[in-house]
């Protein structure tokens, strides 16, 4: 056992064996904010009440109540969920260690920071301190009434509270509060992008890694959040538009009624062929002296609101789009794509273009990726390539280009392309009956950063070297602001710039390439320039 005294009291954690050898200190279930119960539901997190005596930190705290749309199961969890976990190779290092602060993905409606999925072994073995967190999800974390009682972004403010806890306490675990790297995947990557521009996070971190996520994609921000909240209320039997009535109604609902809420606003959302995340980050209104987490336009904030001096890594997996099979019905999987051209129109264009333009866009996209062929099992590679670009890759590449155009901060771009038996998510997301051979799916990169309880490490397999390589790239970035500072992995990874657009392909070997997906990117840029003039001034040729 091991004890640490922090600002709120004494914690007793444990010393655990690392699957890669050696040991590490583990402190689980540490409260970073008061339980958001009763009148604190939907509110910004409040300080922890200090405790007397010794608090056990050997078990994870409760996760947030949630419905996991990716695996279609309900996790009972708890509304009392604001807990974090700290893992460190030593409590008393000669020099304070870099800190890596992990934000889990899950579409802002599922997931946790717990070690069953995010085991710390690989990263702490590289001599960093790892912090993982839980935060409020779905209605509890992202409902917005545009009122002082429910201004939105509660889940993001939870993340900020956890970052502030790290800034205040991490030295007690051997960590350096002046050298914190925030990193996250999918919705966690989008969270990182928002933290890069939030006035609440300035000075709380030094570096940032965005894995398969950013805040330009439609799914990263709420569409008509107030109307969405009213739709949620109607789905629960409450028909009103009165602010106070809505607030009291939501506050009084038992937690089990606020999980697995379906509140589509459009016919397209009701059709359910896309990944529709209905609750996310919102443009927050000002109420008195209350802190606003995010406000303004994401494109403008990317151009002029990035925190000064913060270095960034951003990237994507080769077959991100394989996740789409999780949201298609097995029978008649591709029928709607072959019947309706609008299925090929990105949501940000669908919401802003008249039907005539939607049909024209859909026709161009279908012809570009499929020619005269039908969408079918025979064209599944083209389908995955199209979905990959539509839901993530285009926005990630645009983010990188806009970032370096407007900021002096360095940015490193990567494509994750490792293929080994640790790649498990194509099967989880039901893509395997369709996609044969190599598949580097959404979330597969996580298998080389975190120990997963269902995937034991095989030290005799090639994947073991991949784990060591990837964890070194990530932790070297956290230590030095450069993911390959010494060339020890046989490659020098140049910072991304507009002239050469160099990036690292993280495959079974590491290689530097230029101009990622150049032809596809130009195709999508032309569409956005033509049909979204508001964004066109940010487009780069």
Pairing type for strands 2-6 and 9-17 reads: antiparallel
Q: How many CA atoms lie within 13 A of 400 on its CB side?
A: 31
Q: Which residues of 375-402 are buried (b: 16+ CB within 10 A; e: fewer)?
A: beeebbebbbbbbbbbbbbbbbbbbbbb
CA–CA separation, 221 and 217 (whole Å): 8
> How does DSSP assign 101-114, residue by residue?
EEE--STTTS----
Beta pairing partners, 97: 175
Candidates 218, 319, 442, 528; catalytic one? 442
452 classed as catalytic? no
320 classed as catalytic? yes
**φ, ψ dihedrals at 309, nearest 5°:** 85, -5
Candidates 26, 186, 212, 463; catalytic one? 186
Helices (H) and strands (E) in the chain, counts: 17, 15
Candidates 185, 320, 393, 525; catalytic one? 320
Helix, strand, coil tally for the chain in percent (to 5): 35, 20, 45
Beta pairing partners, 506: 416, 510
427 classed as catalytic? no
Find the radius of gyration of the CA atoms of the chain. 23
CA–CA separation, 211 and 450 (whole Å): 14
Q: Which of 32, 44, 42, 39 is nearest to 198 (CA)?
A: 44
Helix locations, 254-379, DSSP H: 267-271, 298-304, 335-339, 347-350, 355-370
- Would the CA dihedral through 291, 297, 300, 303 be positive or negative? positive
Q: Where are the beta strands (DSSP E) in 125-169?
A: 129-133
CA–CA separation, 342 and 353 (whole Å): 11
Return the number of other C-beta atoms located less than 10 Å from residue 160's C-beta: 22
Task: Return the active site residues.
Answer: 186, 320, 442
């Amino acid at each position: 056992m091991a004890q640490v005294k922090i600002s709120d009291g004494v914690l007793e954690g444990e010393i655990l064996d690392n699957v890669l050898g050696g040991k590490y200190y583990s402190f689980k279930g540490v409260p970073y904010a008061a339980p958001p119960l009763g009148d604190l539901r939907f509110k910004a997190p409040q300080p922890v009440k200090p405790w007397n005596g010794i608090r056990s930190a050997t078990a994870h705290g409760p996760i947030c109540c949630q419905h996991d749309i990716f695996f279609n199961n309900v996790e009972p969890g708890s509304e009392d969920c604001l807990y974090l976990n700290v893992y460190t190779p030593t409590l008393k290092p000669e020099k304070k260690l870099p800190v890596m602060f992990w934000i889990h993905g899950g579409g802002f409606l599922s997931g946790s920071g717990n070690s069953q999925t995010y085991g710390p072994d690989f990263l702490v073995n590289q001599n960093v301190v790892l912090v993982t967190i839980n935060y409020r999800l779905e209605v509890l974390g992202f409902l917005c009434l545009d009122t002082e009682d429910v201004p939105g972004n509660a889940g993001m403010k939870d993340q900020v509270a956890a970052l502030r806890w790290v800034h205040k306490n991490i030295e007690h675990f051997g960590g350096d509060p002046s050298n914190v790297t925030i990193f996250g995947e999918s919705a966690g990557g989008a969270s990182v992008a928002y933290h890069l521009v939030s006035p609440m996070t300035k000075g709380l971190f030094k570096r940032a890694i965005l894995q398969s996520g950013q805040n330009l994609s439609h799914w990263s921000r709420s569409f008509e959040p107030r109307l969405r909240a009213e739709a949620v209320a109607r789905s629960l039997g409450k028909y009103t538009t009165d602010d106070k009535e809505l607030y009291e109604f939501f506050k009084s609902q038992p937690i089990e009624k606020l999980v697995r809420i379906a509140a589509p606003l459009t016919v397209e959302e009701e059709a359910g062929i896309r990944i529709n995340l209905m609750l996310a980050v919102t443009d927050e209104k000002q109420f008195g002296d209350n802190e606003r987490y995010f406000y303004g336009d994401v494109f403008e904030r990317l151009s002029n609101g990035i925190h000064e001096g913060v270095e960034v890594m951003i990237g994507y997996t080769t077959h991100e789009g394989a996740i789409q099979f999780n949201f298609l019905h097995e029978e008649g999987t591709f029928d709607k794509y072959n019947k309706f051209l609008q299925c090929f129109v990105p949501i940000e264009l669908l919401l802003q273009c008249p039907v005539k333009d939607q049909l024209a866009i859909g026709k161009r996209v279908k012809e570009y990726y499929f020619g005269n062929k039908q969408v079918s099992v025979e064209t599944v590679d083209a389908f995955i390539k199209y979905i990959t670009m539509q839901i993530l890759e285009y926005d990630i590449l645009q983010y990188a280009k806009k970032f370096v155009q407007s900021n002096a901060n360095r940015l490193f771009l990567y494509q994750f392309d490792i293929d080994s038996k640790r790649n498990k998510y194509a099967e989880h997301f039901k893509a395997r009956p369709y996609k044969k051979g190599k598949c580097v799916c959404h979330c597969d990169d996580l298998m080389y950063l975190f120990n997963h309880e269902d995937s034991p490490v095989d030290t005799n397999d090639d994947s073991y070297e991949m784990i060591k390589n990837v964890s070194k790239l990530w932790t070297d970035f956290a230590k030095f602001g450069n993911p390959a500072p010494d060339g020890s992995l046989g490659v020098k990874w140049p910072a991304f710039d507009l002239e050469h657009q160099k990036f690292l392909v993280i495959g079974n070997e590491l290689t530097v390439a230029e101009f990622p997906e150049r032809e596809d990117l130009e195709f999508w840029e032309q569409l956005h320039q033509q049909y979204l003039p508001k964004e066109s001034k940010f487009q780069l040729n």
